[in-house]
Chain A
């Protein structure tokens, strides 16, 4: 008797006879035992369209190692075992394990041992992903599979959809004592698997699997949500005889959420929710339109995370920070609450603007104290670098390149993880190589977090920054991927607006307000009325143009006389929700409200004292 498999509805058990090379089925209550025919049963599968249960089987050899190999793979309905059809005959397969995805499109297998991989059955294609044994396929349509490694200790996970790979240790369950384990098989529920172990008998250093032994018990494990580790184990047997070949079935398992590739998360999430987790968050700022509170030991019990613009810094139409020649400082940033030895994680989403940077260095984000910088994320030409205060071990370079081919207008998500003496980055969810640091960790992050410039104000950066998080712990890879997916989803579908390079003549003088005229505001806009001269660009006779006149309590627009000829880059004002509620001064006749209104995108022409009143004719 060999390889029992619980049928998809959990009502029966299909198993094989090793001696007679035949497969059989028996009801869960022990009745209804019947032979299904010749062959070795590999898997059971429920057709999602009809609910019909199928058995996949193969014809194995009769001697030695050939007993564990078969060809072809055929299938038949459980109720019609004579209706056999071949599904795979391109290669031999090893019987441990040929398992199907829920849609029946993919099957994992060894083609044969130790060539672990998967086959696209309809296309008659196979791909080898790792050497090992006991392959297993997630029971859903996530196309996540594993190959059991040679030492019989780790599942080599392989996400077929996005070709991610990682290892999950499975011989660290209580009671395994680090010995080999065996028979790992996914249950019908993507979060659960079954294994056996520990294998202690036999010659140390040899293959202990063959010796079996009375100490071998059945365990079931539960993957964590990210499928990075087995978060809990439960031993199913406790006896003096060996227990082997387990299969586990969980009611409703076919409905359970399985692994979701990062790319799919970003594509399919109907609504971005960022960050997916605020665990150990010290600072979280998503956008000017969405503030986040964090728990805090104050009377209110919460701390609102804000950013404070300085100089010419404004928000863009996605409510992101657009520092221009200014910068943003994180407010209510409580670095003291972080325990340096615990490590930390910095998360940032940014969109470079290459043309405005030229050949100088721009500082995307920096941690600083006074004029000193502890860590900075910078851009030079198309390269993005991290400048840690602590240099990598053995490296003379003060910069760690993140990537070298930044594209203007493309949004990037970066996570920097510091912990366990290593620095690690994730760019758009793709992990970089860990870098060992000479000193275990940046001694402590200084209390100042700045975006869009360095501490000395000499490295303005012209892009935009959003979805910023600082966490007092090193983020796990799985969590980093979820944060990346969430942020990528936020930025999905953003398209550039039509913009117009317009030449126009001012119809009424502009007299910008002084800071003392805008009350409690620190910034204000003026709206001027213009006659369009470049009608080939913008086919309007007259338009209104809104632009910044006061930023950070400084006048940034000179007074302009009637007839002043100006050239500026404009976008439709209504496409800029970040401007709602800003203080506006209309510099026109009151009956001009109906004119088309545009927003001037160019950076302010000057930053002058509040009483500057140069008139441009």
Chain B
């Protein structure tokens, strides 16, 4: 039986604070592998959130201002979402 998919998603887009973007489950294979390692690493359901830079730029602090919320979630014995 295959495991349910790991979800790495854009939770909130930076460009429009008023609209939450739903789950985006298109996950690169390498990220799936990472999430599987996380599942082994923690051994219980776990969640992480962070900011991902949307674009670079000349402003050295661009990474503070242009990004989206990303999340990842795992569950024990499989992925919970």
Contact = CB atoms under 8 A, between A and B. Distances in A.
A237 interface: yes
The winner among A236, A243, A247, A248 for most chain B CB atoms within 10 A is A236
Interface in B5-54: 9, 11-12, 14, 17-23, 28, 30-31, 34-35, 37-38, 41-42, 44-54
Contacts of B48: 194, 218, 220, 236, 246-249
Interface in A21-52: 24, 26, 28-33
Contacts of B38: 220, 234, 236
A26 to B, nearest CB: 6
A238 B42 contact: no
Interface residues of A, number: 51
A141 B72 CA distance: 28
Contact of B49 (A13, A24, A29, A250): A13
B42 A192 contact: yes
A15 interface: yes
Nearest to A232: B41
B12 A30 contact: yes
B56 interface: yes
B12 A15 contact: yes
B30 A31 contact: no
A10 interface: yes
B46 A249 contact: yes
Contacts, number: 144
B68 to A, nearest CB: 7
B29 to A, nearest CB: 10
A337 interface: no
Contacts of B72: 236
A250 to B, nearest CB: 5
B12 A1 contact: yes
A24 B69 CA distance: 12
Nearest to A1: B14
A202 interface: yes
Nearest to B64: A18
A297 interface: no
B53 A212 contact: yes
A33 B65 contact: no
A578 B22 CA distance: 72
Nearest to A246: B50
A244 interface: yes
Contacts of A30: 9, 11-12, 20-23
B69 A15 contact: yes
Contacts of B9: 30
Contact of A239 (B22, B31, B63): B31
A249 B47 contact: yes
B18 to A, nearest CB: 7
B14 to A, nearest CB: 5
Nearest to A222: B41
Contacts of B69: 1, 4, 13, 15, 26
A421 interface: no
Contacts of A604: none
Given A1-B12, A31-B20, A238-B31, A251 B50 contact: no
Contacts of B22: 29-30
Contacts of A1: 12, 14, 17, 51, 67-69
A534 interface: no
A242 B23 contact: no
B62 A212 contact: yes
A212 B59 CA distance: 10
Nearest to B22: A30
A243 B53 contact: yes
A551 to B, nearest CB: 57
Contacts of B42: 192, 220, 234, 250
Interface of B: 9, 11-12, 14, 17-23, 28, 30-31, 34-35, 37-38, 41-42, 44-54, 56, 60-65, 67-73
Interface of A: 1-2, 4-6, 10, 13, 15, 17-20, 24, 26, 28-33, 192, 194, 196, 202, 210-212, 214, 216, 218, 220, 222, 232, 234-239, 241-252
Given A18-B65, A237-B50, A244-B50, 12 more contacts: A1-B69, A5-B49, A194-B48, A210-B61, A212-B53, A212-B60, A212-B62, A232-B41, A235-B34, A236-B35, A241-B54, A250-B44
22 contacts: A1-B14, A1-B17, A1-B69, A2-B64, A4-B49, A26-B20, A26-B69, A29-B22, A30-B12, A30-B20, A33-B12, A33-B17, A33-B19, A196-B50, A210-B60, A234-B34, A235-B34, A243-B51, A245-B50, A246-B48, A251-B46, A252-B44
